[in-house]
Structure 1
Amino acid sequence: MSHGDENGYDSGRTDDAYSTIGGTRQTRTRLPDGEGGDGYNAPRRPARASRSLITMAGVVVLLIAAIAFANIGGGRGDGNDGDSGSAGSKPEAASTAATGTKPVTGKNGTIPSGFAHDEQGAQSAASNYAVALGSVGMFNADTRRSIIETTHDPAVVENLLTALTKAYSPGFLKNVGLNEDGTTPSGLTFVSRTIPVGTKVIERSGDTATVEVWCTGLVGMAGQGSTKPVTATWFTISEKLKWVGGDWRIESSSQKEGPTPVNGDNRASTADEIAGAVEGYGGFTYAR
C-alpha cells in the first residue's frame, strides 16, 4: 500500500518508478543499479520513509493494546520471558494446509469462542482476537469494552480499558477522520480491518502459549470527499495467551512492523469501490 499517496482514488497511474511508462501500459526490464541504464535513466527509487497520518494511525490502533499490556504485565509480552516449554519449530511445508479439524462454532457476541486446548486452538484464538482488536468496534467505547472483555484475561481487563480510554481520545479519533465521539462523518465509510495471513506457535507450556500472527490491515475513510484514503499495512502481532475459564484469552501482547511484501502494480480503486467492498464483503472465522 502506498503510505503517502497524494493522487487520490481516481488515478490509475502512480509515481512509482516500477509502474507503467507514461500511461502506455508498456513494461520494461530493470537492471540492477550500477549495471547499465534502461533507456530511461531511472534509478531504483529508495523506499519512502514518510507515512501519512492515517497509515500510522492504523498501525497504532493495535499497538495501543500491545503497549498497554506490556505496561500492565511488566514485560514485553513477546514470549521470551515465559515459563520453559516446547519451543516453536520451523513450520513444515504442509503447515499451511487445512488440518481437517472443524473450525470453532461457538461465539461470544460476534467473536468466536470455545477454542481447543491445544496448539491449533491457540493459533485459531490468536487469529480471531487479532481481527477483533483491529476492527471498527475498537473506536467505540461500548463495543471496545465488549471486545476487550471477550478476548482478554479478566484479571487485566479493567486496567487495559482505562489505558485505552485515554488512547482513544477525541483528538485521536478526529485525526483518523472520525467525529470526536467516534462516529463516522455523514456520507463516508470508516474502514479498519485486520486480516491474518499466517500463525506460528513460539512457545507452549501447559495452560500458556505465545502465538505470532502475521497480518495485513486496512484503515482509512472511504467515500466521496475523503481526505484519508484507505491504505494497507503489514505487521506481526505476538499474543501471550492463557487458558482461562475453558478458553484461550490474551494475557499480554506486542506488535512489530512487517514482514512487508513489495507492492504490486494494481490500479487503486475509487473511494466508492472501496466503500462498496467493505459493506458487501464480510469477514471470516479463522481456524488453524
Structure 2
Amino acid sequence: MRGWWLVVLVVAAVALGYAVMPNIWTRVFKRTALRRVPAAGRRVALTFDDGPDPKYTPRLLDVLAQCGVRATFFVIAEKAMRHAEIVERMIREGHEVAVHGMRHVLVPVLPPRSAWEQVFTAAEKLRERFGLSIRWYRPTWGLCNLPALWWTRGGRRGLRMVTWSIMVGDWRRTAPGVLRSRILRRLHPGAILVLHDSDETWGSEAGAPERVIELMPELTEALAARGYRLGPLRDLLAAGVAAQPGTGDSSGAASVPLRPQ
C-alpha cells in the first residue's frame, strides 16, 4: 500500500511541475512570458487570437484598414494553411503574424514531442509558407507546460512567449460598449490587449467576433482621445527600445520585421 502511495505522490509531483507550476509562474507571478511593455509609453499592442477565420477575419481587416490600425495576429497554423489568402492579406496590409499553435489544443497535457510541434513546427510552417520572420508565440488559452516555457524563455530558440495584460471576455457575445469600458478601465502604458477573431474555439459563443468588429472604430477613437496609440506588438518593442537608448534588449524581445531582411 505504501508503494502505491509513493507512486501516486511521484506522479502528482511530476504533473505539478510539468503542467501546473509553469502557468503559476507565468500567470500568477507574471514571469518569463512577455505581458506588457511599460517603456513603450502610451501605446497598446492590439493582438488577435484563434484565426484566421474566413467569416470574421476579412471583415476585421476591413475595419482595421478603415481605422488606420495594424495589429498582431496570433494564428493557428493549420487554419493559416487552409486560408492562406487571408494571411497573405494580413502581410500585404502591414500586420504582424505570430504563432498560436499548430491546432487549438490544451498545451499543459501535451507530451514534449507534441508540445514541440505545437510551438516550433507550427512556426516553421508559417515561415516556409509565407516567408515570415516569426518571433512571438502565445500558447492556446494562455496555458503552457514546462517544455514550452523552457524552450521559449528569453527567445533563445527564436520564439518568445507572449501573454497579455488586458483580456475582456470578448469570446462571449458582449456589447461593444461593454468591451470598450472594460478595456478603458484596465488601460495602462505598454499594455498588450488580446481579442479574438474566431468563434470556433471551445468556450466561444457563436457570433462573438461580430461584436469585436463593431468595437474597433469606437475603441480606436476612445484610446486616441486619451492619447494612446494602437499597433502591433513589434511597434511597442521598437518604442520601448528607442526610449532606452544604449540599453539593448535584455528581455530578448526585439522588434521583428514582417519579412526577413
What TM-score do you get using the length of structure 1 for normalisation?
Answer: 0.21
Greater percentage in helix: 2
More strand by share: 1
TM-score normalised by structure 2 residue count: 0.22
